[in-house]
Structure 1
Amino acid sequence: MSVDTPRRIVLLRHAKADWPQVSDHDRPLADRGRTDAPVAGRRLAASGIPFDLALCSSSARTRETWKLAVQELPHRPRTVYDERLYEASLGELIALLNETPDDVANLLLIGHNPGMHALADALAGQAESDVLARMNRGGFPTSAFAVVTFSGSWKSVEHGVGKLVDFWAPHD
């Protein structure tokens, strides 16, 4: 696969989590989260993006979100659970993207805010129609996802490299 291949990064925020007396890392999904995660999965399937790789935070709520969402996809991509996605800063998220192998054309990140919103905003040097305004107007709610396209090697991912082409939230 050429480094000039068009690539897509889909940033999915975990579904709504509950607040039981457990560590933040171990928080499970709330009832609404268990309802919204499959809806997000169906919307991802409708996008037609054939994911090559899914990188998922190691937290309970992101793993549960992915377990429910992936069942709606036509094929399950290779999935890697990475503890670095939990509480990752913008710089750490970009560094993680830079490690992606160049045979990956379509990458899905399942993570947390404020990182998912910050990353979508930072990568979007351009945006289609009102997509950026819609994303920034409502924040980046649980179960929402953004789609950013770019061309080049994953090692070249940096601020402004991409185009924000889609943003979806379940209660928009």
Structure 2
Amino acid sequence: MSSAEPRRIVLFRHAKADWPQVADHERPLAERGRMDAAVAGRRLADTGIPFDLALCSTATRTRETWKLAVQELPHRPRTVYEERLYEASPGELIAVLNETSGEARNLILIGHNPGVQGLAEVLTDAADDDARERMSRHGFPAGAFAVLTFEGSWKSLEPGTATLHDYWAPTE
């Protein structure tokens, strides 16, 4: 890839979680979440994005979501399980993304709301009208993902520097 090509980031909210009597961090996926995670993986494969890196929250539900989704991809990217993604605000997520190596062109972040939705909203300056309308209509339910692009280095990623190109949710 040439340096002139934009970087792509996919913001992926974990699939539907169960509510057993365990600490929030340890909540597993519900049966529906396991099905939705696999479907989301197939939809991610359909984007054709060759992910270089996956940043995944350490919470059980995000790890399970990624484990099911990545099986559907033609190429398994390097995965980093990052504690700072759990309960992170959009600003905290940007700080983690700013630390990404310049070698990564295409990244997927598997995290939680409200941080993931907030990050999609704060990063997006421009958008494909259809993707923006679908994201506005559906919000960011469990299992949804947004595809954004931006120019420059990961260190230059900041509010208003990305374009929303695609959005998908299991409810569509």
Fold shared per TM-score above 0.5: yes
Give the distance between the partners of 2:99 and 2:4, measured in 1 at CA.
17
**Retained in 2: the 8 A contact 1:3–1:151?**
no
SS of alignment partner, residue 129 of structure 2: coil
Root-mean-square deviation (Å): 1.0
Unaligned 5+ runs, structure 2? none
1:90-169 aligned at under 5 Å gives the runs: 90-169=90-169
Classify the secondary structure of the residue corresponding to 1:140: coil
What is the deviation of 1:3?
5.1
What is residue 49 of structure 2 aligned with on the other side?
49
Give TM-score scaled by structure 2 length: 0.97
Query: Using the alignment, how far apart are the partners of 1:21 and 1:104 within structure 2?
Result: 38
The answer for the alignment partner of 1:23 in structure 2 is 23
Distance in structure 1 (CA, Å) of the matches to 2:119 and 2:136: 12
For 2:85 and 2:49, locate their aligned partners in 1 and report how far apart those are by CA, in whole Å.
22
1:130 offset after TM fit, Å? 2.4
CA deviation after TM superposition for structure 1 residue 5, in Å: 3.4
Q: Aligned equivalents of 2:134 and 2:68: distance in 1?
A: 26
What TM-score comes out, normalization by structure 1 length? 0.97
Alignment match, 2:84: 84
Shift of residue 4, structure 1, vs aligned partner: 3.9
Which position in structure 2 is the counterpart of 1:6? 6
1:58 corresponds to which letter in structure 2?
Answer: T
Give a deviation string over 1:63-107, Cα, whole Å, max 9, x none.
000000000000100000000000001110010110011110000
Cα distance between partner residues in 1 of 2:95 and 2:3: 18
Q: Secondary structure at the match of 1:110?
A: strand
Asked whether the 8 Å contact 1:56–1:80 carries over to 2, the reply is: yes
Distance 1:83 1:2 in 2: 32
Query: What displacement does 1:158 show?
Result: 0.5
Partner of 1:54, secondary structure, is strand
Amino acid at match of 1:56: C
Q: Counterparts of 1:38 and 1:130 in 2: how far apart (Å)?
A: 24
Deviations 1:101-140 (A, max 9, x none): 1110000000000011111111110001221121122110
Provide the rounded CA distance (Å) in 2 between the counterparts of 1:3 and 1:83. Answer: 30
- Unaligned stretches of 5+ residues in structure 1: none
Identity of aligned residues (%): 70
